[in-house]
Structure 1
Amino acid sequence: MSAHSRNQVWLQHLHGFAANRGWVPVDDSDQQRGRLVKDVVLVWFESAEPGTAAGQHLEGTLQRLDEAAVPVAHVVAQTGASRPGWIARVKRLALMQVRAVRAGGRERLLLGRMHPASLLPVALQKLRGGSVVLMVQGNTADMHAAYPFTARLPIETLFIKPTIAMSTSLVAPSAGILDWINHDLGLTTPRGFVLENGFNGDSVAAVSPISTEELAQMGLRHNGFVVFVGKFATWQGIDTILAALDSEHWPDDLPIVFVGDGADEPLVVAAAARDSRVHYVGRVSAERALAWTGGAAMSLAVRKAGPASERGVSPYKVLEAAALGTPVVATRVRGQSSLVEALESGVLIDPDDPPALAEAIQHLWHDRDLRERLSVSSRQRSGAYTWRAGARGLVAALQSAGWHRNE
């Protein structure tokens, strides 16, 4: 039995269960099917706290919808700090599922970020005759790298594939993710759209620089340090950066500032304790993270090679650095390298190569004219990558799923 047939059988059983409880309408007449989809319900199961990738994605999606004047009926998301612990997390997800189901309907379009918890609301939205546009930001290797225990669970088979298969249309930040869905998962039914991530132009314009006094207290100066901003996940290349610091090519007069937290935080803390060039400021607000990026001589985006990167990425840090005029040293990873080339914003190196990283940093540090040229070109080109600039692409995905403007 094909994946599509299994999903149809599963949906029939679920429809009977849901109809008996009044969760979906029994009437399936032509008149009901002919209704227009006019309102959008946004569903974000992943914690969307400010400063997180999911939070940036939610904020950017809302900006795109606002730019296109798309009415949003409900936003189901956790935007504040969530209670710790698995019990609290499961309870939160269950309550959000109930809210998402109640907010959906035949005349509404469910627009959500892919998450295993999306399965139930997507299935019930499908049973109601409603539409679903699913935003798939990465493959399951991303999830396995962030949460290793998930690699031992059949999450892809039981949750990811059925959810994607039942969606009306898909949105991904790179063509590689759509290739993964089509070839690795064997799903060709949902129509896919490539829509790169963006950055908040208003936030960039409002950045207040780190004060000279604060920098001086740390032994730093404006445009006199390298910065890494982001989640310290294992694939972000923290170990590559620290190994490059030990290279003879890393300039002795060039310190580095780490902004963020995550799995590799102990490596950064240990490096800061033994090397005076390493400064760790921890996790800060999104505004402060932008300020650190804007005050640096260069920013690092040295994602490692591997399953979590091979399908393509569209990193916020590269876009934000370009908008702030801060050159980047970035690894040649699908999606990231093409973005740097399009923005003319930095220098590219191979992944997992500490000596090459140190040499690129040395070259950029000693060539002030090159840094200035990259700064000017990236600022000029970054305007095409604001969240609002991508509104038209998101509207095209919504229209493909039956959304119509309410005239």
Structure 2
Amino acid sequence: MTQVATKKYRLAYLSPEPNREGHASYTHVHEIVRHLRDIGWQVDLFCPDYEQSRLPGALSRVAGIARSLTLIIFRRQPDIYYMRWHFAAWPLALWAKIGGVPTVVEVNGPIDDLFIAWPHTRRFKAFFSWLMKSQLNWSDAVVAVTPGLVSLSKKICGEEKFVSLIPNGANTDVFSPEAAKEVNGLTEILPRRFLIFFGTMARWQGIRTILEAIEEPAWPAGMHVVFAGDGEDREFVEMAAERLDHVHYYGRVPYQTLATIVARATGALVCPENLEGRAVTGLAPLKLFESLSSGVPVIATNQPFQAELIREENCGIVIEPGQPEVLANAVSKLVESEDQRLKWSENARRVVVQSHSWLARAKDTDSVLQAVLSFKAT
């Protein structure tokens, strides 16, 4: 049974990623913080804000992270620090170690994610790796979002390290089949039948493969694709939308509005590719859980964790990554049997409501925090 906080403990939460609605990190952070507060925690959130409509550049990010670090370090000392694993969180990890404040580090991806996103950092790979590994070694507990990341954390810290598996989740009230009944400016212009991709448009998300699949002969006639999000592959989506009538780009869509679009989709595309080993430790993308919570079947690539979930719960189709023709055939399979699609839809909603809500994730996080505080008190 989950232990609920009996004292209003103070938690300082650091997220070095941009605090921008529409990004997976934004949703994860704010949902966990919201539910921890509901459980009884006093949570102070520190994350950089940016005014740009597009993703901030390197200098803007450095300045934003520096402001967040300054605020959290010089704020009243909390009972415990919680930080997302990021090389820039190192000063807080050191500060907590010096001050004897317990810390929990949340691992959302391997160290190599940094070198994929920012290739110039590879020149200082040893240094950045040390910054990140030392955070885990100094921590009192680690939270990892996939089994592969649990193994990675233990490989860095040793088998004795307290590491818990707590994947992403979904807001089952917002992302619900019922959201399809809501009307707004975007829902009024949606095509009748469409698949959806939403989230960060990074190279490894398989967007280019999706765009190639759309032009394959096997792609079903009349099936559109809606893209919502932003990132480095945005330009490819915009060019396709200008050229093809059945490709639509809506940019970054507000959280509540996004749910009304997802719920209307015939299926969701969760097609990451193992770019430079990105998927080796497993993937539990936010879009996966939000799509399933909406009762929308998912076409997912055969990557650890996400493929296992789809297969075990029978809520979509698993395909090999990076193969446009295979993806086009999967889309045909998705639409050819209404009975099968409805079964996938029912299974999708059920599994998230039962096991993958953000409230459940927050309760799991509360258990880790309580265990760390109990251990430090002895």
TM-score, normalized by length of structure 2?
0.88
Structure 2 distance, partners of 1:280, 1:150, is 32
1:94 aligns to 2:66 (yes or no): yes
The alpha-carbon deviation at position 267 of structure 1 amounts to 1.5
Alignment of 1:372-387 (within 5 A): 372-383=342-353, 384-387=355-358
2:229 alignment partner in structure 1: 260
SS in 1 for 2:373: coil
Shift of 1:379: 1.5
What is the aligned partner in structure 2 of residue 365 from structure 1? 335
Distance in structure 2 (CA, Å) of the matches to 1:245 and 1:202: 32
**TM-align CA RMSD:** 2.7
Query: 2:153 — aligned with what?
Result: 181
Correspondent of 1:269 among 234, 238, 243: 238
Number of the residue aligned with 1:346: 316
**Which residue of 275, 280, 294 corresponds with 1:310?**
280
Tell me which residue corresponds to 2:3: none
Q: Does 1:200 align with 2:171?
A: yes
Query: What are the residue-to-residue correspondences of 1:165-176 with 2, within 5 Å?
Result: 165-176=137-148
Gapped regions of structure 2 (runs ≥ 5): 1-6
Contact in 2 for aligned 1:104/1:110 (Cα 8 Å) = no
Q: Does 1:69 align with 2:47?
A: no
CA contact (8 A) 1:60 1:198 kept: no
Matches within 5 A, 1:8-407: 38-72=9-43, 74-78=44-48, 81=51, 84-103=56-75, 105=77, 108-154=79-125, 155-183=127-155, 185=156, 187-188=158-159, 190-205=161-176, 207=179, 209=181, 211=183, 217=189, 220-221=191-192, 224-306=193-275, 307-383=277-353, 384-403=355-374
Moved more, 152-161 or 129-138: 152-161
SS in 2 for 1:201: coil
Measured against aligned partners, the alpha-carbon deviations of 1:337-373 in whole angstroms (never above 9, x if no partner) come to 1222344321111111222111111011111111111
1:213: how far off? Answer: 8.4
Cα distance change, pair 403–59 in 1 and its aligned pair in 2 (3 A): farther
The SS at the match of 2:318 is strand
Which stretch of the first structure deviates more once superposed, 340-349 or 306-315?
A: 340-349
Q: Measure, in 1, the Cα distance between the counterparts of 2:185 and 2:253.
A: 18
Q: CA deviation at 1:394?
A: 1.0
Paired residue secondary structure (1:230): strand
Matched with 2:4 is none
Is the Cα contact below 8 Å between 1:318 and 1:340 reproduced in 2? no
Q: Structure 1 residues 191, 328: closer, same or farther in 2, change over 3 A? A: same
Kept in 1: contact 2:22–2:199 (CA 8 A): no
Query: Aligned pair in 2 of structure 1 residues 131, 324: CA closer, same or farther (>3 Å)?
Result: same
Deviations 1:145-180 (A, max 9, x none): 222222333353331111111111100111201222
The alpha carbon displacement at 1:387 in A equals 0.6
CA deviation string 1:264-304 (max 9, x = no partner): 11211222222222111222112222222111111110111
Q: Deviations over 1:60-89 (max 9, x none)?
A: 2113413432332x2222356469444443
Cα-to-partner distance string for 1:187-214 (whole Å, 9 max, x where unaligned): 5563211111111223225846574986
Deviation at 1:144, TM superposition (A): 2.4
Matched letter for residue 230 of structure 2? D
Q: Which whole-Å deviations, capped at 9, do the CAs of 1:197-247 have from their partners, x for residues lacking one?
A: 1112232258465749866756x12xx111111111100001111221222
Paired residue secondary structure (1:330): strand
Larger radius of gyration: 1
Deviations 1:246-272 (A, max 9, x none): 222111221111111211112112222
Residues 130 and 297 (structure 1 numbering): CA distance in 2 closer, same or farther, change over 3 Å?
Answer: same
| Distance change >3 Å, CA 209–CA 192, structure 1 → 2 | same
Q: Deviations over 1:32-61 (max 9, x none)?
A: xxxx99421111121122221111111121
AA in 2 matched with 1:261: D
1:24 corresponds to: none
SS at 1:190's partner residue?
Answer: coil
CA contact (8 A) 1:232 1:260 kept: yes
Q: How many pairs does the alignment contain?
A: 365
**What letter corresponds to residue 219 of structure 2 in structure 1?**
W
> What letter is aligned with 1:355?
E
Fraction of identical pairs, as percent? 26
Q: 1:306-337: CA deviations, max 9, x gaps?
A: 41111011111111111111111111111111
> Which deviates further from its counterpart, 372-381 or 169-178?
372-381
Amino acid at match of 2:26: G
Please say if residues 180 and 263 of structure 2, whose CA atoms lie closer than 8 Å, have aligned partners that are also in contact: no
